[in-house]
Amino acid sequence: MVAHLIDLAPSTELIAADSTVRTVPPVSQVLLNIIPRNPFAALAEGNVLQIIVFAVLVGLALNQLGEQVAPLKRGFEAAREVMFQLTRWVLELTPIGVFGLMAWVVGSFGLDMLLPLGKFIVAIYIACLLHMALTYGGLMHFFGGMKVSRFFKAVFPTQLIAFSTSSSYGTLPSTLKTTTEGLKVSPRYAIFVLPLGATINMDGCGGIYPAIASVFIAQLYGIPLGMEQYLLIMFTATLASLGTAGIPGSAVIMLTVTLSVVGLPLEGIAFIAAIDRIIDMIRTTTNITGDMVVARVVAYQEGLLEEEQGLPSTCEIDKTWAQN
């Protein structure tokens, strides 16, 4: 059904958007870029994947040293509580920001811009919705110990923020709140897995979008694709998702990796660049939904749920910290 929707012949109604030529990094370079050369530079530049790798190494070192570094552990715990408080302040202003962003998206793009590429947009939306309903819903039903309807009801406010902001990083405060309070995942686990998922768990950007976009561009230029090309699309799209930043529009840049490997013209990106914002909204919604599903499933399987371990809730942690 998705392939049928994107079966679009070249049309003069499509107007190429302005595009900038960028150097496409090889897959090996994407993997090497995960390793931080300078952790302080990674912090300053906001390179989240390098920051996570450095944080994991520091955490392993702290566990290895044990009581020798107990004061430093307490310092990190105090810093965590400070970040929780900043997160709550951000969430208090979130409704105002969401309203402004939604008004800007509707006012800037409108419906006229959606008509020429309507089939492509519909294909992306159907694929993402089916993925969330079937794949994520199935994982939650069979492995997450939670009713599918209850799960989607709990995560809907966060999905709305992700749909409006098109940013996995910008949605992190709400993702963390929903995962710990709505899905009952231990905060100690959630604060580790969610930032990691916002960087490397990109089902919408790294799986669905490059595949459909590649097929669309191939049909647009009349280029037939064989089984080998489809396998290459699957492989390179998955690897490229590791280097996709959780910010609006980054998936378009990483799409060049997939198109280059398959041998499709990079100029085809110009046809979909103008509507990328509309597509990015559902991509981001898919990504953060996957992050919360993984957090809940792993926590349920490994006994990391608050209600199972008897761990204090986020509100109780706040009260305890305030008393101390």
Structure tokens at 34: 């995960």
Q: Binning pLDDT at 50, 70 and 90, where does residue 110 land? A: low
Running DSSP on this structure, what letter comes out for residue 133?
I
Query: Of 125, 140, 88, 151, which is closest to residue 286 (Cα–Cα)?
Result: 125
2-323 carries CATH number 3.30.930.10: no
Identity of the amino acid at 6: I
Contact 208, 131 (CB under 8 A): yes
What residues are paired with 185 via a beta bridge?
A: 305
Q: Would you state the torsion angle of the CA atoms of residues 41, 46, 52, 54, taken in this order, to the nearest 10 degrees?
A: 10
Running DSSP on this structure, what letter comes out for residue 25?
P
**The pLDDT value given to residue 239:** 67
H runs (alpha helix) in the chain: 2-5, 27-32, 39-45, 48-65, 70-109, 118-130, 137-143, 148-165, 168-177, 187-200, 203, 209-220, 227-241, 250-262, 269-273, 276-302, 306-309, 314-323
Q: Is 70 exceeded by the pLDDT of residue 316? A: no
- Where are the chain's structural domains? 2-323
Mean pLDDT of the region 127-147: 93
**The pLDDT value given to residue 320:** 40
Query: Of 273, 265, 158, 152, which is closest to residue 217 (Cα–Cα)?
Result: 265
CA 307, CA 324: separation in Å to the nearest integer?
A: 24
Query: Of 205, 223, 238, 224, which is closest to residue 268 (Cα–Cα)?
Result: 223
> What phi and psi, each to the nearest 5 degrees, are found at residue 308?
-85, -40
Q: Binning pLDDT at 50, 70 and 90, where does residue 17 land? A: very low
- Which residues does 69 contact at the CB level (< 8 Å), separation at least 6? 61, 62
Percent above pLDDT 90 for the chain: 19
> What phi and psi, each to the nearest 5 degrees, are found at residue 114?
-85, -25
Q: Crossing angle for the helix pair 70-109 and 48-65, nearest 10 degrees?
A: 160
Mean pLDDT of the region 221-248: 72
What b-and-e string marks burial along 192-221, b requiring 16 or more CB atoms within 10 Å of the CB?
A: bbbbbbbbbbbbbbbbbbbbbbbbbbbbbe
Report which of residues 314 and 49 the model is more confident about.
49
Mean pLDDT of the region 35-61: 81
CB-based contacts of 92-96 (< 8 A; 24+ apart in sequence): 94/161, 94/173, 94/174
CA 89, CA 33: separation in Å to the nearest integer?
A: 33
DSSP string over 64-114 = HHGGGGHHHHHHHHHHHHHHHHHHHHHHHHHHHHHHHHHHHHHHHHTTTTT
Q: Is 60 exceeded by the pLDDT of residue 281? A: yes
Least confident residue range of 11-25, 90-104, 164-178, 238-252: 11-25
Running DSSP on this structure, what letter comes out for residue 305?
B
**In which element (H, E) is residue 8 found?**
none
